[in-house]
Structure 1
Amino acid sequence: MPPQRPESPAMGAPEAQKAQQNASKYVLNAVDFPMPGKLSERLDYVRFRLSPDTIEFTSVESSAHSENFGDVRATWKRWKGNDGQHVGVRKRRRNLGIGKGEFSKEFTREVDLMASLSHENVEKFIGFVNEFENGKTWIVVSWEPNGNLNEFLAKKQWETPERLSLTLSQVSSIFIHVSHQSVMGISTRRRNILISSSYRAIISNFVSARVLVDPKPKTKAVSKTGDPQEKLPPTAESPSPIRAVATDTQLTVIETTSSLRWASPEVLKGSPSGLSSDIWAAGWIGWEVMTDKVPFCEYRLKIEITKKIVEGEVPSPQEHGGLSQVIGLCNLIKHCWKDSPEDRPDSTQCYNVVQWMPSIVPVEGRPASSSGLSLQKGWVHYLQGSYEDAAFLFEEGLGLARNEDDQGFRAEAYHRLGHVYYAQTKYIDAEESYGRARDIFARIGDDHGRANTLQGLGHVYRARSKYAEAENSYTGAQEIFCRVEDEMGQAIALRGLGEVYRAQSKYTEAKESYKQAQEIFVRIGDDHGRANTLQGLGHLYRTRFQHSEADKSYTEAKEIFLRIGDDHGQAITLQGLGHVYRVQSQYCEAKESFEKAQEIFDRIGDDHGRAITLQGLGHLYRARSHYREAKDSYAKAQKIFTRVGDKHGSAITLRGLGDVYCAEYKYSEAETSYTDAQAVFIQIGSDHGQAITLRGLGKLDFARSQYTAAEKAYLKARDIFSRIGDERGRALAMRGLGDVYCAQPNFTLAMASYTRAQEIFIRIGDKRAHAITLQGLGHVYYAQSKYAEAEKAYKAAQSVFIDMGNDHGQAITLRGLGNVSFAQAQYSAAEKSYRKAQGILSRIGDDRDRALVLRELGDVYRAQSNFTLAMASYTRAQEVFVRIGDKRARAITLQKLGHVHYAQSKYAEAEQSYKQAKGIFGDIPDEQACAIMSQELGHFYYTRSKYNEAEQSYKQAEEIFVRFANKQGLSITLKGLGDVYRAQLDFPKAIEYYARAEKIFALIGDQQGQATTERGLGDVYYAQPRPNFTQAIESYKKAERIFASIGDEHARAITRRRLEQINDAQFEYIEIEGSITATE
């Protein structure tokens, strides 16, 4: 999706064009800041003291914005003959009950403060008249012809971006710095906010301000997040309606006599007012600007208003039409209204949120169809995810810019259309729009605009897996930002480069780019950029399965987002944490994280975020084999993605559904989902998406034992990954090829594929993939009966998983070690490995793999003739498979239950179990699994001397295995038919089928099968009416050599006894033959 923070500046105010470079416009400059001294000395400013004779009053009407004194319009002439300038004169009146001395002191303090302030968002101080004895105590300020905020908003129906401009300038007045000092001051009523001639909101009326320089050093407190916070010491000043606090770094001006409607809960509860109280009031100013309503406008009685404030019953910003369009402002206002002062944002955080909102200075007389206004209205819709509405307004703005011949706005319109198309995954359209914007910006010499569009192009190229072009675009943007000294732009470009390197598995370069971006964001104090970069690092560590580092980065980012009040950022980070926990099989924690993210997206009305979270929950449920819930989550996500027009999200969801259907053995549905996903990825030009989906198709074909198709899919995926420079993806595709070759089996190619994949995983530092590939190598050795090498590979994988803290990987490797021990009849060792695996899987809540281990324990007990325990293990495993809907696992378990029944001579029950298993495989459907069960039934009938049924079953299996080119299955079936024909004394056919089986076993490298078949041939040669001792001895000797080479001493011993028997029989046969010949 597009950058979370828009990189297009707000338009309409000159300084907004380059917000970062012009941050100095929000700096409040001290003008001869007065030091403590005698009041007479402090008021003796020659340049500020005015003569009443220089002021000519032109109005006697008082302004409505002041309660303590009257404002009148006047003309001030600096000297005779000068035309003068319009000013506002505040005639300060002494209220009854206030002595002359106190009144003089109050007036002096006000002059002190106003003389010290110079900022475009604070009314300009012209001077003062100080003739106490004549009753002339006046404050002279600049005259603002647009009146106060109340009056200005009533003039017309202002658009949302125009109202946001007033909010921005109002909030910027509380984000002001004097070198190392921060001067905070906020009026709590709309009537005290004036609208300047340049249509900016400015603060007025400092009559009740107090300045107190406290010599005590500030103390430190610790916030809930553990960060040290400045804690201002209490003042020793006597009670006053005004309270001001200052330290060596901060001066806070606090009005405690503000109207009740703007008062914060802690003030009403008796606590002293503070900066957080001003933040509470600032939230209400934002509310008023956007809604034209005063706080609690529906209530008149003070007791009603007080109750609402104290009990925290504030309105919901999202429920107001105007505010609901600006989710960021809604969230900021809600945070300003937090009941606990510590939970409210500070002024810097407020400004960081508001400065990025789409705003345009409200100007009277501007046509409603101006290009700038259209673009900003469109940006409001864009931030809501209403991309069609946004595109319409951007197109409208583009047309108006053409008519106005405004090249700058025309370029910006193309730029923003690029954002919309990118968000809609219309990458070709986005590339075209960004390109046009770039060309116009270059033509008019706008380097900053050109750099922004280069970043947009970088996003598009990255999404389309054109990593070289993406890198060039980000690098070009970075160079321009560096030249124009835009540090924020540099940092964002570096973060984009980090994303490109991460996608290519260039983890070192990615980390370095993120680190450089992070350093810049920290230096310029951009918490939002810092948090987004920490998210990127979290993604990087997650990709590398460095879970503790990922957890740390995500958590730190989440804390920053929480502190600055960015709900959307928090939710995205919670998604990342959910994925980290899911991969570690911490399913409860993963679900909790996803659900918390979902709650936030629901609250802020972010449908797209909801869809991505639903997608994450789908992945989680799939990992837990909760397929119904997974499909439900994917379906909900798909519906939202379709509605908002996110084709990329839709394709990923389709791929997830394909994975679920594949796990359910619904191969037809899986193929449809993968094919549909692939079509979308091709449509939007996402090579990376295509390659990953091809891997999914490869897994599907592998599961269906369609090894030729699987190989083709993996090869295509490998080639795409190679072309786009994704080393990790290429290695994963090669590992998939290794799985295919191992199953065929072609152990030479399997070993080569695994080894090449292994080299890449080691080079890029992907420990988890490295360990899984070691498992694959273990499988190859195990299939070849090379148990020592298999054990070594599994133990190496186990060591990596332990080092990573990957419980699931450890459990799967323990299963492999158990299988090795079981194959060598080391049943105690096998049981020990299986039980360790079972304990881990139970702890992490992996039901499916736990059931698989139960089934393997059943195999151990069955091999030891402990049929009671075997039945119990198989039955418990079966219950799990039935519950989670795993038909394949259920059928295999029925097959093993058949073995137990057979061993107990319960032949009817055994036959029934085999047939039930075959029926389930037929329902899936899985023809090759059906063939295996036919093979199983053939062996069953053979041992029961039902040779016709055995031959029929084996022939069914042979036909399927030949059709699917399954050499492994075919060789075993041919050997079974050889057994049947030998039992029927059909020696020519027995020799024929044994010979065919032996040839295939040798071809695929199955030494165990080859040796067993050779021994069978020896038996046939020996069993013929006229034994062929030479051939029999040759077959037995060959079988013995193979058994010796693979370390199967038990089979070797049996074969040696056969050789001894045939040698004795041959001697006897020769003697008998000789006797017969002599007799004849």
Structure 2
Amino acid sequence: MVDRTTPARATMNQAQERGLPLVTIVECGTFITLTGPVWTLRWAAPELLKEGPSSLASDMWAFAWICWEIMTGKLPFDDLDTVAHIVLRVTRGKLPLVASHKEISQVRALCVMMTRCWEMEPGARPAAAEFEGIIFMMDRIIPSRRDRTKPENYSTELLCSLGYTKRNNNKYEEAEDHFGKALNIARSAGNAVATANAIEGLRTVYCAQGKCLEAEALTTEAKEIYTLLGAEGKVAGAMCMLGEVYRLEYQYSKAEAMHNEAREIYQRHGDEHGAADALLGLGDIDRLRNEFHKAEALYQEAKEIYKRHGLNGKVAVAACKLGDIYRLRKEYHEAEASYNEAKGICERLGDERGVADAAFGLGEVHRLRNEYSEAQAMCNKAKEIRERLGDERGVAHAALGLGEVHLFQKEYSEAQAMYSKAREIRERLGDEQDAADATFGLGQVHRLRNEYSEAQSMYNKAKEICERLGDEQGVAHAALGLGEVHRIWKEYSEAQAMYNKAKEIHERLGDECGVAHAAFGLGEVHLLRKEYSEAQV
């Protein structure tokens, strides 16, 4: 049915009369029946005002205005009361900036979809099924029936929903406050299910902040609650969460055990979606172990399940992870295709974080292909999105990528600025892994500028952090850098020791490129010592 202009007061009753749905217009709440062109024009798409053909795309324009009414409590163009002014606004595309609206901007996916519905070209608007899919993925709760103006009267469901909204906007302190209040209310009421749900939300905040110990304690409690309740599906979900926490703590064996057990439970209950989530977790562990073929198979299996169930957001996540695998295997064409697939899906869904992740991956591909202008553009895009979202961790990650791009272009001042920015953010947030990566980058800058004492200091700091975290690849990179410094200083024994350390680690990890770099360094040392046979080997 093409309705042309669909105000919020219109209610469609599915009734069969001559084989067609019956549509009636009724009063709803405080709305009153109005007649005349000014009322219906408020929802009319521009092509209708130009006497063009109506279509379902015209209804999507009107549907965005219904969303506007629901979110703001205002009519379209409530500041105008004449036909001429309304027509002028619509035909010129002078529409509200939903991205800057206080309420709507907190639900970014809705914000993006409304903006797409208001495209002047009908063919550019989303289909109804696509919009329905986005709405289905949004947080939903039954509002509290009590005095909503008092936070202490909010329901635990409402508080958790507010918590997720704040977390999704990187407002972690406010999110923690909402989840904490929900948890206190649930515990006071002895409501085990509400307690576990609040714990689950609080766990996501702690993980985002790198507070792994707190996240582990909470998730263990949630798992125990679900076990007592006999809710196996929820137990499996808690196991996946614990697996994620263990992975962040570099406890890969424990993480693997959790995801495998969760997968078995999901499969036993015929829950393909849950099983796919467990597969993603297992793939992440294999990727971190450099078992790329195993990771690829797990990601592909998860992606196919998500596709089958129409979970496009999860399809994008899996595609981005596959892009990482292809990039690490130097299969750049496949990596670019996967990242572009993820980016396209996320742009359609209004998932700005997903767009930023895919853009960063594309930036890495371009950098590794020496396409520095394209790499810089993609990393800048990722950084701009993260800054707009207030995502400091994401900003630091993008800054690291930009540092690499500037380094390869011998723009050492710009590289130093980006690495320093990334390091400052990561140290402040307590994220040692990325702080180590940024510190190593600064070591590279100093070495290439012949500032060897500063380079040695940075490499040593990066090496110490990586050793503490159990990051062997990071240790190998830092050792290689230290080998270069010692070789330049003609400290050949120390250089040889560092190159050998890097070579041993890379051999153990199966990183042939790393082995080649270390072997070349050792060859240089033997050559300088006039040990020609060893150098030749």
Aligned-partner Cα distance in 2 for 1:65–1:619: 52
Could you say which residue in structure 1 is the equivalent of 2:361? 576
Q: Distance in 1 between matches of 2:443 and 2:56?
A: 55
The 8 Å contact of residues 327 and 604 in structure 1, kept in 2 or not, is answered as no
Tell whether the 8 Å contact from 1:711 to 1:737 is kept in structure 2 after alignment: no
Q: Which residue of 2 aligns with 1:287?
A: 68
Choose the corresponding residue for 1:274, options 44, 55, 66. 55
Q: 1:344 aligns with which of 116, 125, 148?
A: 125
In structure 1, what is the equivalent of residue 420 of structure 2? 635
Do the aligned residues in 2 keep the contact of 1:568 with 1:600 (CA within 8 Å)?
Answer: yes
Aligned pairs for 1:9-28 within 5 A: none
Counterpart code for 2:332? H
**Which amino acid in 1 is paired with 2:92?**
E
Cα shift at 1:597: 3.4
Kept after mapping to 2: 8 A contact 1:375/1:413: yes
**1:426 matches 2:211:** yes
Structure 1 residues 644 and 467: CA distance shift in structure 2, 3 A: closer
Give a deviation string over 1:828-859, Cα, whole Å, max 9, x none: xxxxxxxxxxxxxxxxxxxxxxxxxxxxxxxx
Question: How far 1:607 sits from its partner (Å)?
Answer: 4.8
Q: Is the 8 A contact 2:170 2:389 kept in 1?
A: no
- Aligned-pair CA distance for 1:481: 2.0
State the alpha-carbon separation in 1 of the partners of residues 339 and 10 from structure 2: 50
Encode CA deviations 1:192-220: one digit per residue, 9 max, x unaligned: 9xxxxxxxxxxxx9xx9xxxxxxxxxxxx
Q: 1:680 to 1:452 in 2, by over 3 A?
A: farther
Among 287, 310, 313, which residue is 1:502 paired with?
Answer: 287
**Deviation at 1:403?**
0.3
> Aligned letter for 1:570?
V
Are 1:113 and 2:17 an aligned pair? no
C-alpha contact 1:345 1:565 (8 A) present in aligned 2: no
1:579 partner SS:
helix
**What is the aligned residue count?**
520
State the shift of 1:303 in Å. 1.8
Do structure 1's residue 702 and structure 2's residue 487 form an aligned pair?
no
Deviation at 1:271, TM superposition (A): 2.3
| Paired position in structure 1 for 2:301 | 516
Could you tell me which of 381, 389, 408 is aligned with 2:193? 408
Q: Which amino acid aligns with 2:509?
A: E
Aligned residue in 2 for 1:743: 524
* Aligned residue number for residue 617 of structure 1: 402
After TM superposition, give the deviation of residue 322 of structure 1 in Å. 2.0
Distance in 2 separating the partners of 1:486 and 1:353 = 21
Pairwise CA distance, 1:277: 2.1
Q: Classify the secondary structure of the residue corresponding to 1:416.
A: helix
Q: Does 1:552 align with 2:337?
A: yes
AA at the equivalent of 1:629: E
Deviations 1:1003-1031 (A, max 9, x none): x34699xxxxxxxxxxxxxxxxxxxxxxx
- The offset of 1:361, in angstroms, is 0.8
Taking the aligned partners of 2:217 and 2:92, their CA distance within structure 1 comes to: 54
Q: Distance in 1 between matches of 2:233 and 2:107?
A: 26
CA distance 1:67–1:563, shift in 2 (3 Å): closer
Query: How many Å separate the matches in 1 of 2:455 and 2:17?
Result: 77
Distance 2:139 2:93 in 1: 30
Please say if residues 538 and 576 of structure 1, whose CA atoms lie closer than 8 Å, have aligned partners that are also in contact.
yes
RMSD of Structure 2 on Structure 1 (CA):
3.6
Gaps of 5+ in 1: 1-63, 69-89, 91-106, 116-138, 142-146, 152-190, 193-204, 209-240, 242-255, 746-782, 784-967, 970-1000, 1009-1045, 1047-1080
Report the residue type matching 1:292 in the other structure.
Answer: G
CA distance change for structure 1 residues 514 and 525 in 2, over 3 Å: closer, same or farther? same
1:278-327 alpha-carbon deviations (Å, 9 max, x no partner): 22222222222222222222222222222222222222223222223222
CA contact (8 A) 1:551 1:580 kept: yes
Partners of 2:326 and 2:332 within 8 A in 1: yes
Distance 2:503 2:179 in 1: 41
Q: Structure 2 vs 1, CA of residues 371 and 701 (structure 1 numbering), >3 Å: closer, same or farther?
A: same
Counterpart-to-counterpart distance in 2, 1:351 and 1:715: 58
Q: Distance in 1 between matches of 2:328 and 2:478?
A: 18
Determine the C-alpha separation between the residues in 2 that align with 1:593 and 1:437. 40
> CA 1:394–1:625 in 2, change beyond 3 Å: closer, same or farther?
same
Code of the aligned partner of 1:358? D
Structure-1 residue corresponding to 2:40: 259
State which structure, 1 or 2, has the greater radius of gyration over its C-alpha atoms.
Answer: 1
What is the CA–CA distance in structure 2 between the aligned matches of 1:670 and 1:569, rounded to whole Å?
35
* 8 Å Cα contact 1:707/1:740 also seen in 2: no
The structural deviation recorded for 1:693 is 4.3
What's the CA shift for 1:739? 4.1
- Gap change, CA 1:712 and 1:65, over 3 Å in 2: closer
**Pairing 1:313–2:221 present:** no
Quote the offset at 1:596 in angstroms.
3.5
Match of 2:178 in 1: 393
Query: What's the CA shift for 1:604?
Result: 5.4
* DSSP-derived class of the 1:262 partner: coil
Please list, as runs of the form range in 1=range in 2, the aligned pairs for 1:159-178 lying within 5 A after superposition: none
TM-score (norm 2): 0.85
Please tell me whether the aligned partners of residues 687 and 720 of structure 1 are also in contact (alpha carbons under 8 angstroms): no
- Greater fraction helix: 2
1:687 and 2:465 are equivalent in the alignment: no
**Alpha-carbon distance in structure 2 between the residues aligned to 1:560 and 1:272:** 29
Is the Cα contact below 8 Å between 1:261 and 1:305 reproduced in 2?
yes
1:295–1:708 distance in 2 versus 1, CA, 3 Å:
farther
Partner in structure 1 of residue 134 of structure 2: 353
TM-aligned CA deviation for residue 583 of structure 1 = 0.3
* Equivalent position to 2:222, from 434, 437, 445: 437
Would the alpha carbon gap of residues 467 and 260 (structure 1) be closer, same or farther in structure 2, given more than 3 Å must change?
same
Task: Note closer, same or farther for the CA distance 1:547–1:450 as it changes in structure 2 (3 Å cut).
Answer: same
Residue 654 (structure 1) shift: 2.9
Contact 1:336–1:344 (Cα < 8 Å) also in 2: yes
| SS state at 1:113 partner | strand
Matched, 1:475 2:475: no
Q: Using the alignment, how far apart are the partners of 1:587 and 1:666 within structure 2?
A: 25
Distance 2:357 2:414 in 1: 22
Question: Do the aligned residues in 1 keep the contact of 2:292 with 2:325 (CA within 8 Å)?
Answer: yes
- Given that 1:425 and 1:648 are in contact with CA atoms closer than 8 Å, whether structure 2 keeps it comes out as no
Instruction: Pick closer, same or farther for the CA change 1:545–1:720 going to 2, 3 Å.
Output: closer
Alpha carbons 2:8, 2:66 under 8 Å: kept: no
Q: Render the CA deviation track for 1:500-536: whole Å, top value 9, x for unaligned.
A: 2222222221221122112212211222222221111
| Gap change, CA 1:379 and 1:140, over 3 Å in 2 | closer
Following superposition, the deviation at residue 264 of structure 1 comes to 1.8
Native 8 Å contact 2:476 2:501 kept in 1: yes
- Whether the aligned pair in 1 keeps the contact of 2:423 and 2:438 (CA below 8 Å) is yes
Residue matched to 1:21: none
Residues 463 and 478 in structure 2, CA contact (< 8 A), matched pair in contact too:
no
CA-CA distance at 1:543 after TM superposition:
0.2
Deviation string 1:609-660 (CA, Å, 9 cap, x unpaired) is 4432222111111111111111222334445546666554444333322322
Q: Cα distance, 1:345 vs. partner? A: 2.0
- C-alpha separation between the residues in 1 aligned to 2:175 and 2:9? 42
Q: Is the 8 A contact 2:142 2:158 kept in 1?
A: no
- Cα distance 1:111–1:522, how it changes in 2: closer, same or farther (>3 A)? closer
Q: Letter of the aligned partner of 2:68 in structure 1?
A: W
Relative to structure 1, the CA distance from residue 472 to residue 744 in structure 2 (aligned partners, 3 Å threshold; closer, same or farther) is same
- CA shift, 1:335, in A, is 2.1
Letter aligned with residue 687 of structure 1: G
Hey, what does 2:372 align to over in structure 1?
Answer: 587
- In structure 2, the partner of 1:334 is 115
Q: Secondary structure at the match of 2:153?
A: coil
TM-score (norm 1): 0.44
How far did 1:462 drift? 2.5
| 1:456 corresponds to which of 241, 254, 278 | 241
